[in-house]
Structure 1
Amino acid sequence: MIFVLDVGNTNIVLGVYKDDDLIAEWRLSTDPKRTSDEYGVQVLKLFNSKELNLDEVEGVIISSVVPNTMYSLEHMIRKFLKVDPVVVGPGVKTGINIKYDNPKEVGADRIVNAVAAHEKYNKPLIIIDFGTATTFCAITAKGDYLGGAICPGLKISSRALSENAAKLPEVKLVKPPKVICKNTVSSMQAGIIYGYVGQVDFITDKMINEMIEYGEEKPLVIATGGLAKLISKESSKIDKVESFLTLDGLKIIYEKNKE
């Protein structure tokens, strides 16, 4: 079995692969204050809940955008699983050629998504990852990572509205049936969600045109991340939702580097 961990600013997404099948997937809240033992106990409980044995894990790979979590996570893996983890970063084989001004600035999660989508589709791609931040990434048919855009995530945008306007409450991210709403909560939900769809479609449309100008065919647009399904239902630009794109990418990168 291969154990994969995607460490984001809000959640750590964990998965277990047996051969090519994702047989378990969980989410933990990201907390840099947790010790290696605390992480280890949680992981042990999660494995037990699926009747999986830690001793059967032959390899581990981590991607992280939260450096302060890494000491505890790496120490936990060595202590509880008795293996050295592969950490996505400089020196790790990905098969992706990064065209950023400074390749080290590209978040590990964006690289991992690019690897998974390129391996699966082998065509021009735009990947939208709806996480704490929403990232847009452009990848050519031959696997060049061209760059992209980053904007505040949906939850950050919603929270900022309630925190900075005294009379506006926190609201659930639920799509109202109409944009012309008759109460404050629904009005906020309409503005947040439909406004975000407009942002996503505008940025994606600009990226499609720039990739065509670059010489690529019209790219396939893939959405991933926790809120991908919510936005994709209203978007006119998103072609596919890949809920486990990052975990799949971690598995692929592990296979490329396991020797």
Structure 2
Amino acid sequence: MLLAADVGNTNVVFALFEPDGQGGFVTPPRARWRIATDPRRTGDEYAVWLLQLLTIEGVAREDITGIIYASVVPRADHNLTVLCQKYFGVTPLRAGEGKASWPFVADVDQPSSLGADRALNILAAHHKYGGDLICIDFGTATKFEAIDFNGTYKGGSIAPGINLSLDALVGKTAKLPRIAIRAPENDSVIGRNTEDQMLIGVFWGYVAMMEGIVEKMKAEIGRPTKVVATGGLAVLFDDATQIFDEVDTDLTIEGLAILAKLAAA
């Protein structure tokens, strides 16, 4: 089995993939687990948590024959490697390096600055959907990626994630309360109390931002373009806009399985 890990700024997502008998892996993953990102977390601490979850899933550590990870938090990489080598006896592949180098062209000014999470979305979106694509990843930041029909990354844009926007609003004001992000109860943009007004401003403001950027990106691409949404908050906006053609919450982690297959070829 393949163990994949996506180390993001907020969470580390682990996923377990079974082989498909053709050199690749069955999707969606058999299991997935999430833990808060903490660069100080040691390999031993990861192991205590992860080995218990594998046991619950009925998987022995000996069943893990390959490990691949992607990281946008360099300080977490060493402890993750210790976990792989000490507890599974496996030297992990690191996405974007060596045999697991990115198999697509990044037609941008600074290809080396492309984050691993964004690269995985580009790879997986092209592999799964083909054609001209816009991929939107709702994470700590919201990333918009333009991918052409050849799988070439043409560029994109980055906006603060909706929770970052809300944190800034609350943190920089004296009296506004902290609220939870959710879809408003109706389509009205005229709130009757402070909490509703905040929710309306953040939520519908974010929808307007997404729709505006996608409209401009499609006009610039100039060809029929499919929009794929991923990330933990993608489902929050699915009922509020018509711009998504696909909502694929496993896109990033499945990119690791695709990359592992390519690395083994």
User: Which TM-score band (shorter chain)?
Assistant: over 0.9
Q: CA separation in 2, counterparts of 1:14 and 1:90?
A: 19
Could you tell me how far apart the structure 2 residues matched to 1:121 and 1:133 are?
23
- Does structure 2 conserve the Cα–Cα contact (< 8 Å) formed by 1:7 and 1:64? yes
Select 1:31's aligned residue among 27, 32, 38. Answer: 38
3-state SS of paired residue (2:30): strand
Tell me the residue number matched to 2:80. Answer: 73
Runs of at least 4 residues off by over 6 Å: none
1:103 pairs with 108, 111, 122, which one?
111
Q: Which of the numbers 123, 126, 139 marks the counterpart of 1:115?
A: 123
Distance 1:75 1:198 in 2: 44
Cα deviation digits, residues 47-66 of structure 1 (max 9, x gap): 12212212101111111111
Between the aligned partners of 2:238 and 2:146, the Cα distance in structure 1 is 18
Q: How do residues 29-68 of structure 1 correspond to structure 2 at under 5 angstroms?
A: 29-68=36-75
Q: Provide TM-score, normalisation by structure 2.
A: 0.93
How many residue pairs align between the two structures?
A: 255
What is the TM-score normalised by the length of structure 1?
0.95
**Cα offsets for 1:163-184 (capped at 9, x unmatched):** 1111101101012223211111
Structure 1 alignment gaps of length 5 or more: none
Superposed CA offset, 1:5-26 (max 9, x none)? 0110000111001121411011
Cα distance in structure 2, aligned partners of 1:44 and 1:29: 17
Aligned to 2:161: 153
CA–CA distance in 1 between the matches of 2:101 and 2:243? Answer: 31
Shift of 1:90: 4.0
* Matching residue's letter, 1:202: G
2:96, 2:102 within 8 Å by CA — same for their partners in 1? Answer: no
Within the candidate set 226, 236, 239, 2:242 is matched to 236
Within 1, Cα distance between the matches of 2:242 and 2:232? Answer: 19
Aligned residue identity for 1:208: K
**Structure 2 unaligned regions, length at least 5:** 20-25
Check the 8 A contact 2:54/2:61 in 1, yes or no. yes
Identity across matched positions, percent: 40
Kindly state the Cα deviation for residue 87 of structure 1 after the two structures are TM-superposed: 0.4
Over the residues paired in the alignment, what is the CA RMSD in angstroms? 1.1
The answer to whether structure 1 residue 128 and structure 2 residue 131 are counterparts is no
Match for 1:221 among 220, 227, 240? 227
Measured in 2, the distance between the counterparts of 1:80 and 1:245 equals: 27
How far apart in 1 are the matches of 2:142 and 2:233?
10
Query: What code does the residue aligned with 1:241 have?
Result: V
List per-residue Cα deviations over 1:58-88 (Å, max 9, x = no partner).
Answer: 1111111111100000111111111111101
CA offsets per residue over residues 177-201 of structure 1, 9 Å max, x none?
A: 2321111111111111110000011
